[in-house]
Amino acid sequence: MTQNLHAMTAVFGLLMGVVLSTSTMAQNVAPLDKIQNQQELNQAITELDTALFDAYNKCDLAKFGSFIDENVEFYHDQGGLTLGRAALVESVKKNICGTTTRELVPGTLQIYYMKGYGAIEIGVHRFHHPGHPEIGDGEGKFVHLWQYKDGAWKVTRVLSYDHHAAGK
């Protein structure tokens, strides 16, 4: 009995370590109060953008959702308003997974500090449809409002607009 208890405790500890390391991997970015200059802010938000859209592209919905505030407001020029993390994650699952990937258009990223809150991220992204060249690539502009709160960065507001066919 004691041996089984020790084994179960070891397995539980190992599982908790995996869970905690997975959740901290997603937020392995400097906290807002430790960011001292624009270069550090750029690095932090760029890392967050990369991690967010890596999860999006791989349809890792748990990781994707970990970057999204529970009460997110997502405004899309073609899809309308989506309210809440659960609805946004479900929308990505239904409309994006397996059909669409996103890449940041190089040279378009702009990042601005928001005192006591986080940062604004502005840029252009390109969407691809692997296996469906007939759809063609699209582009759109975006604004993400990132908040640093309770030890984690989260997207609280999104504007996704000016969607059009990507120029060749």
The CATH number of residue 13's host domain is 3.10.450.50
Q: Say whether pLDDT at 147 is over 80.
A: yes
88-138 residue pLDDT tens: 999 999 999 999 999 999 999 999 999 999 999 999 999 999 988 888 999
Only one residue has tokens 């609280």, namely 156
Q: Which residue has the higher pLDDT, 134 or 149?
A: 149
58-69 residue pLDDT tens: 999 999 999 999
Q: Is 135:129 a contact under the CB 8 Å cutoff?
A: yes
Supply the pTM of this predicted model: 0.83
- The single-letter code of the amino acid at 109 is L
**Residue 10: per-residue pLDDT:** 32
Domain that residue 37 falls in: 2-165
Q: Say whether pLDDT at 8 is over 90.
A: no
Q: Say whether pLDDT at 14 is over 50.
A: no
First to last CA, the chain: 68
Which H or E run contains 38? helix 38-58
Q: Which residue has the higher pLDDT, 168 or 10?
A: 168
Number of structural domains the chain divides into: 1
Range scoring the smallest mean pLDDT among 7-16, 19-28, 105-114:
7-16
43-54 residue pLDDT tens: 999 999 999 999
Which H or E run contains 42? helix 38-58
